[in-house]
Amino acid sequence: MTISGNTNPTARAERQGPCKFIFVTGGVVSSLGKGIAAASIANLLESRGLRVTLQKMDPYLNVDPGTMSPFQHGEVFVTEDGAETDLDLGHYERFTHAPLTQANNWTSGRIYEKILIKERRGDYLGKTVQVIPHVTNEIKASIQRVATDDIDVALIEIGGTVGDIESLPFLEAIRQMRHELGRDNTAFVHVTLVPYIAAAGELKTKPTQHSVKELRAIGIQPDVLVCRTETDISREIKEKIALFCDVSREAVVAARDVDSVYKVPVNFAEQQVDEILLKHLRIDAPPRNLAPWLEMLERLDHPSGEVAIGIVGKYVDYEDSYKSLKEALLHGGLTHRLKVDVRWVEAESITAAEAHQQLSGLDGILVPGGFGERGIDGMLEAIRYAREAKIPYFGICLGMQTMVIEYVRNVCGIRDAHSTEFEPAAKNRVFFKLRELKGVEDLGGTMRLGSWPCVLSPGTLAYQCYGKTRIEERHRHRYEFNREFDEPITSKGMVISGETPDKTYVEICELPGHPWYLGCQFHPEFKSKPLEPHPLFASFVGAAGVRRSSRDAERRRSEESQFLRARADA
């Protein structure tokens, strides 16, 4: 089956009326991949020239995920406008070109907050405020807010699973939208589970049937079923699901486990998911063009080498805590056709005595962002080892701060250098909180969030990576470099290669003479895509590849030398 089609990547579908909506729900269990399913469908629609946007509706009562533990919720993804959002927005941005903002992620907390502010202000004119219509109306208004005139299709993902009490207002709201907008303007995609029972040696459809039954009891009839499964779903199983769930057999989509989420759009294309939805929504669009995506997958599946990158962090027991980071490393590997073997290293486990044993087998070391004191000593030891052993090092946010602190301590000789985040009474505070900076006005909160401009110094590694002097990157941090330490670090060789245009904030530091040693205050992983790898990650993985090649060549020379000595002795 052909899945590429039109070779013109700029082909654009003509506007055919108001924005259409695709609602993505889930059942049976959480973590079935609703976000990946929504992103993959959006990817296919975009490949056909349609302008798409995506939105995540989360049922929890937090106003945003910024205060939640990474162990519980995974990473906090940050948009250009500084919104702290669900990690699914990272999938949306990596799979499409949709520009996302705070309007693309809503929680029950934000919805109720808006309603209560209106109620206190008297907007409801003495009426009794209820879930229906006030909460559902606010949800619908939030959904309609992303359906701007330049969008053809909006994909709305409802968090949680059918049957959760928290999700009911959102499900009721989208049920009402089908009633108000009509069948031709709305489509329901339900992601469910078809488990394989090893003891019985067969797939079981009952979980899917019960999930759809719950959805239909609410008043929603799914148009497409995305069935997560470990094995292929036979024609007979699809017909059984179609019969009992009242959908066409073609609309029962097998979402089999894959070794890379980037293969899901191709899987969906082979099963004509985009065709089914376009037909349902009565949209005429050009043939899909997946040529760039397929070329990317070819490089992913056929690497020419491999590098081992150690992520020294404090949340490594839960990989979703660093979701965007792991993907950005993969993207960097695609640039050089290298497979990136990510090795998770618990920062607390690293000691000066064992650093060589723990880290010497790595081709690159990365210390990511994080909050709190736990694991800092281990990070400092890992950074010192990378600096002294000439291993490529990349520090992001906290990883930059610890990089500079390690340098001030061990190179500049200021042994008590610290950050007030970890030592509030520190005498030599190399980093401190925004509001502690003299002459800097309150930024409206304790964090610097969203996109900020940065000016790069020509001739530096940072400039070499980006190829330009002005960039913009996304931030999420509370503590800044104390510019009183400019002279101590620069006099000892470290270079401040990036700063804000007004020279208030330091954004990038690096160390010339080292194979690759750079730290940035921002989070470059949030802007990396498989078709557009971030330049810092591409350069870092490339440097790790050079180290691996050098080590492999040295190993071969050593083996050859040993062979020749053994032969001579014989």
Q: Which residues are catalytic?
A: 397, 523, 525
First to last CA, the chain: 61
CA atoms within 13 A on the CB side of 418: 14
Burial of 459 (C-beta count, 10 Å sphere; 0-12/13-18/19+): exposed
CB of 152 closer than 8 Å to CB of 162:
no
CB of 244 closer than 8 Å to CB of 209:
yes
CB of 490 closer than 8 Å to CB of 509:
no
* 354 phi-psi bin (left φ>0, alpha ψ -120 to 50, beta other): alpha
DSSP state letter for 98: -
Percentage helix, strand, coil, to 5, in the chain?
Answer: 45, 20, 35
Burial of 455 (C-beta count, 10 Å sphere; 0-12/13-18/19+): middle
The residues, ordered by sequence, that sit 6+ positions from 24 with a Cβ below 8 Å of its Cβ are 34, 37, 38, 41, 155, 156, 157, 158, 189, 190, 191
Handedness of CA 213, 218, 219, 221 (dihedral sign): negative
Q: For residue 249, which of 232, 283, 225, 269 has the smallest C-alpha distance?
A: 225
Q: For residue 225, which of 186, 277, 269, 189 has the smallest C-alpha distance?
A: 189
Q: For residue 365, which of 309, 307, 306 has the smallest C-alpha distance?
A: 309
CA dist 228 and 226 (Å) reads: 6
Kindly report the backbone phi and psi dihedral angles of residue 155, in degrees, each rounded to the nearest multiple of 5, phi listed first. -100, 120
Q: Which two tokens stand for residue 47?
A: 């490949």
CB of 131 closer than 8 Å to CB of 176:
no
